[in-house]
Structure 1
Amino acid sequence: MARSFILALAILTLLPTLCLAQDTSTSSSLTSTSSTRTTSSSTRTTSFTSSGSASASSSAIATKTYSIPTLPTTATLPPLNASSPLIQLVLPPSNLLYLTFSICTLTSNTTLLPNILISNEDPPSFDLGSRSVIDQSSGGTKVGGYNRRNNKNGNTWNVVMDRGFGNWTMNNTLGDMASVNVLFGLGLENDGETLDEIDVQGGVIVQMSASGDGPLNSISSSVPFLGDTTSSQALIFSPLLYASESIQPTYPNYTLPPAQLPLNPFPTDDLSPSSLIPGNTSLSNNLTLYIVPTNSDSSPTINGLEYSTCAISLAVNATGFLAEKAIVRSNDEPEWSNVDDQEGYRHYWAVGGLSAGTNYTTWIRDDRGVWAGPVWFTTKSESFPCQLVLPTSICPSIAYSAPLPVNSTSSSTPSGDLISDTSPIQSLPQELITLLTENLEGFSNSLLSQACGRDLYSHVSTCSDCFASYRDWLCRLVIPQCSDPNLSSSGDDSSSGVVHRPSSDNRNGISFPYDYDELLPCLSICNRVDRVCPVNMGFRCPRRAQNANESYAFIGEDTDSGDGSVEGGIRSYDVFGGRWCNG
């Protein structure tokens, strides 16, 4: 299946009249009419009237009404502003309708958001009433909750927005087809009539997508995963698309996997329903990566519009230097890894051409209009020496920067422009592979002398669990993760998670080519091996009150929390790309 690896450059033209971008080859024409709303100067509110004129003692505000004759379509509305705060859309009769809304731009008062009211009555009524109820069937957002309805069986809804995005669904398959009217108002109250006086500069622009077959845009509950950054590159993974856990061996033919894991290609023709990840089933394999500088004037994050598909597209357009000169390396099909402690298939992108010490925001979008994200990250300082390392067959959980020799393979755009003069490391140095292989094989031989595959071993874990945990622990100790001390994230009362290592520091018989600052492994990485492996294997972790802080990072003295695991309450990283331990 074809995939898009460029950082999408979506050009959105905002016109003073309603624009339609058809999702089919059928074109649409629009008709426009006007009604009036009369504003009383004493109460600073506006009353809706069915007449086409206003009384002599009041000023008139016209409501422009547009008809959309065919679906599916995406319409970018004219600006809602102080002089033109109301727009009404009339959609064709339907018994199944999916609407999604994105706020493209805001006024000088960025807290002033449009109110979106929907009616499928004839004639339309936009009065939500004083006793509205939540309506799960019509949609909503994770943070804002479900949309509101004037009553249980009512015909008026208020669309709940969350960070620039909202949605509404009508499923009336057992009833008559109904015409749907959408009223957009700046300063509009939920009675559909009261219009507060506003004094702002600029206008709010809303984009609406409508379809009878399914939403043209939606937000996934999952987010991309940041591997790590250097001063000019970032390693970004898609959410886990398909789970594929290692097969558990059974007694009496109990065997453990080899040091070099056999990495099976993506099974495009053999995907079982059980492999689908909840929340990711709507994500296709055709993914596009979006990145914008977080602090740029056009960044959706600045105005709290990070879920708005329209605002994201505008931001990518405004910072177009990232559009084509970015991808250093990516995979054509999802590849298996154990990144973020999840076994399965993901896409990844190694992005170059970034500025040192800069904050960025990233999203992923598939070819069906499903968005995942955002997540944030910061590139390291200009002097940061380490290199990005991709997951390998021997260390499938390693996806971060490490003090390894530079991979001088350059990358360029199809037109020949240089993207980066270095590339992420895909194969570990042979001395590291030898050290890892010897330790994994030795541990495997000792472990197989236990009662593997029998209840005598354990009722809650297996030898395979023990071996996988040991592999992860060993890889993180042998391949240290680099840190930028000026950007490191740490909690209060934490052990010092960053240790400076000179190149002369020979660890486990391995020396590295330059000085670096190591982000210590999370204590949870050690604790997991201690927990799932047999006691007589002799694997023990240091205690916090003694010398654990010499080798591991943790927060506090409570042994039940602060070890960098999800179970411990404070995981090793946050949504802003900060890490306080390697895990």
Structure 2
Amino acid sequence: MLLPQSLWALVTLLWLSVPSVRAQTTPVSLSFNTPVTLTGRNFSTTSTPLLFSLPSPSSPEVTVSLALVFVSNSSSAQVVPGPTGGADVYEVILSGLGLGNFTFELQTGITGVLAVYGGSAADSLEIGVSQGTTPLHAPLADVPFFGDSTANEALLFSPPFLPPTPAPQPTYPNYTLPLANTSLPSPPATQNTPNFTLFLAPLSARLTALPQTACAVRAGVTNDPRAARSAQVLAEQLWLRDSQGWRREWLVGQLTPLTNYSVYAIQDGTRLSGPLYFTTKSGDVVLVPTRTRVALLPDHGYAVPLPVPPARALVYDATNLPDSLATPLLGYLTNFTTSLLTTACDCAGCQTAYRHWLCSISFPRCGEFPQTESTSKQGEQEQPLTVPLPALVSQPSGMTPRNAALGNVSDYTALLPCLETCQAVDRACPIFLGFRCPLPDFTASASYGVGYIDSADGDVQGGGIPGVAQDQWGNVLCNAS
């Protein structure tokens, strides 16, 4: 029977300590967009189910735990939905994620009823009702984003939630472009910003073995000492990282070197995003996750071979980025913009692509060669069978650096920029500028990662292996930031 979109049930297993709930014959009323968590009650008898009445008029949604769940939109006040079935009684079927959803329509004057059977006193039920096309507990389609890590810190992002405001394009007769060190965009208003909470734990905590629902993951982190003590959010903010839109950004500390982590973000307390995986680096060198809050570098945040920031700062920003690094870049971008404006063109995309490329080659990203299987695996983590080696190049101390202002006083390993970062400039900019990239079939691999995003011969867009610069399994193959 095909029914309209209105009622959903999410089923999860938790281990919480909240007051017990007794079975009853009078349904408990549920309110829209207010999840209710129940635990400590053994629902193993089918004679006294836990009953809930659903809000009127016609579009509710629901969330519960591992048990038998039935719903009814019968006009008879005597109908208690249950395993014996009957007219207008339906069972909510669970998916492998621990999520069950169901849809039906309520007529005016009829109260829907939800009944829960089975389960044990150790189980927990979370029930939520909402209106509209999106269930209260629907998982998010996008996973969190991994910025980078050091031995003890990581830079993590929520999924994008708000598209950026389109940048103004130069038009006749006022062909102007942003300054090299232009102002940063203002964050969105609070009412347009969902509430994201970060949850992460070592892979050995086995969060992925739990039902993949917000309440199960939240309880798994909160109640597991291995998870609860594993990390601390040092700073967070809203950040327009790229063209995908605004995200919430977290700088996380107190991590363990050479450890695999699983990461989740929960939106508004009920909607789960994840898992994302990453591995911390070794403690061989001191790396700093550079969230350079400088308009010159709007979308760059990763580990770079710089000394620890001065005055106990957590990261480099506009107040402590050395002038020896920022001043030359401002000069390069200013001169490039001046050349670009010698002709009337719709060239804002050219300046943006050049800025991104300039920052990528001027601030090398630190990487590490993959660890052995025994060292890097602390839990079950499925990932693609074929993962190519990342574009890494050893940088011994004393070697001439790509950016002379950085110097090179200690050994480190550089993750090369993706060739597509250079090719984006070549495509976006007028030919008279003379900007060219090395050919992928010849010299490009000496200074760029080749064949990861586009095919190695450059003929097929997105035809590389695996087709992206990094994936949700923690494989970062070339620097696209």
Smaller-chain TM-score range? Answer: 0.7 to 0.9
Contact 1:316 1:323 in 2 (8 A): no
Structure 1 gaps, min length 5: 1-10, 21-29, 33-65, 104-113, 129-149, 186-201, 277-283, 411-421, 454-462
Give, in whole Å, the separation in 2 of the partners of 1:424 and 1:221.
Answer: 31
Contact 2:16 2:124 in 1 (8 A): no
Q: CA 1:352–1:377 in structure 2 vs 1: closer, same or farther (change >3 Å)?
A: same
Q: Is the counterpart of residue 289 in structure 1 residue 198 in structure 2?
A: yes
Contact 1:248 1:464 in 2 (8 A): yes
Contact 1:259 1:394 in 2 (8 A): yes
Q: Could you tell me how far 1:379 is from its partner in structure 2?
A: 0.9
Q: CA 1:127–1:517 in structure 2 vs 1: closer, same or farther (change >3 Å)?
A: farther
Structure 2 gaps, min length 5: 1-13, 377-382
Q: CA 1:376–1:251 in structure 2 vs 1: closer, same or farther (change >3 Å)?
A: same
1:220-260 per-residue CA deviation (whole Å, 9 max, x = no partner) reads: 22332111111010111222232223222212101111111
Contact 1:223 1:375 in 2 (8 A): yes
Give, in whole Å, the separation in 1 of the partners of 2:48 and 2:418.
Answer: 54
Q: CA 1:68–1:377 in structure 2 vs 1: closer, same or farther (change >3 Å)?
A: farther
Q: Is the counterpart of residue 426 in structure 1 residue 317 in structure 2?
A: yes
Kindly provide the amino acid, as one letter, of the partner of residue 234 in structure 1.
A
Q: CA 1:435–1:322 in structure 2 vs 1: closer, same or farther (change >3 Å)?
A: farther
Partner of 1:509 in structure 2? 404
SS in 1 for 2:421: helix
Query: Pick from 53, 63, 79: which aligns with 1:100?
Result: 63
Give, in whole Å, the separation in 2 of the partners of 1:86 and 1:385.
Answer: 64
SS in 1 for 2:423: helix
Partner of 2:4 in structure 1? none
Q: CA 1:287–1:212 in structure 2 vs 1: closer, same or farther (change >3 Å)?
A: closer
Give, in whole Å, the separation in 1 of the partners of 2:392 and 2:367.
Answer: 7
Give, in whole Å, the separation in 2 of the partners of 1:85 and 1:485.
Answer: 57
Matches within 5 A, 1:264-413: 264-268=185-189, 284-296=193-205, 299-301=206-208, 303-319=209-225, 322=228, 326-331=232-237, 334-335=238-239, 337=240, 339=241, 341-342=242-243, 344-367=245-268, 369-391=270-292, 392-410=294-312
Kindly provide the amino acid, as one letter, of the partner of residue 442 in structure 2.
Q
Q: CA 1:259–1:100 in structure 2 vs 1: closer, same or farther (change >3 Å)?
A: same
Query: Pick from 432, 442, 449: which aligns with 1:536?
Result: 432
Give, in whole Å, the separation in 2 of the partners of 1:512 and 1:506.
Answer: 6
- Residues 309-318 or 249-258, more deviating: 309-318
Give, in whole Å, the separation in 2 of the partners of 1:384 and 1:566.
Answer: 35
Q: Could you tell me how far 1:399 is from its partner in structure 2?
A: 1.1
Partner of 1:159 in structure 2? 93
Q: Could you tell me how far 1:425 is from its partner in structure 2?
A: 2.0
Partner of 1:558 in structure 2? 457
Partner of 1:484 in structure 2? 368
- Residues 245-254 or 346-355, more deviating: 245-254
Give, in whole Å, the separation in 2 of the partners of 1:89 and 1:206.
Answer: 13
Contact 1:120 1:156 in 2 (8 A): no
Q: CA 1:566–1:404 in structure 2 vs 1: closer, same or farther (change >3 Å)?
A: farther
Which is richer in strand?
1
Give, in whole Å, the separation in 1 of the partners of 2:116 and 2:354.
Answer: 58
Q: CA 1:88–1:382 in structure 2 vs 1: closer, same or farther (change >3 Å)?
A: farther
Give, in whole Å, the separation in 2 of the partners of 1:87 and 1:293.
Answer: 41
Partner of 2:140 in structure 1? 220
Q: Could you tell me how far 1:468 is from its partner in structure 2?
A: 0.5
Q: CA 1:566–1:90 in structure 2 vs 1: closer, same or farther (change >3 Å)?
A: farther
Contact 2:61 2:131 in 1 (8 A): yes
Partner of 2:152 in structure 1? 232
Kindly provide the amino acid, as one letter, of the partner of residue 50 in structure 2.
L
Give, in whole Å, the separation in 2 of the partners of 1:101 and 1:509.
Answer: 59
Q: Is the counterpart of residue 435 in structure 1 residue 398 in structure 2?
A: no
Contact 1:117 1:182 in 2 (8 A): yes
Contact 1:230 1:401 in 2 (8 A): yes
SS in 2 for 1:226: strand
Matched length: 436
SS in 1 for 2:397: coil
Q: Could you tell me how far 1:156 is from its partner in structure 2?
A: 1.3
SS in 1 for 2:351: helix
Partner of 2:5 in structure 1? none
Partner of 1:260 in structure 2? 181
Q: Could you tell me how far 1:377 is from its partner in structure 2?
A: 1.5
Q: Which has the larger radius of gyration?
A: 1
Q: Could you tell me how far 1:440 is from its partner in structure 2?
A: 0.6
Give, in whole Å, the separation in 2 of the partners of 1:491 and 1:311.
Answer: 27
Q: Could you tell me how far 1:177 is from its partner in structure 2?
A: 2.1
TM-score (norm 2): 0.79
Give, in whole Å, the separation in 2 of the partners of 1:582 and 1:541.
Answer: 16
Partner of 1:527 in structure 2? 423
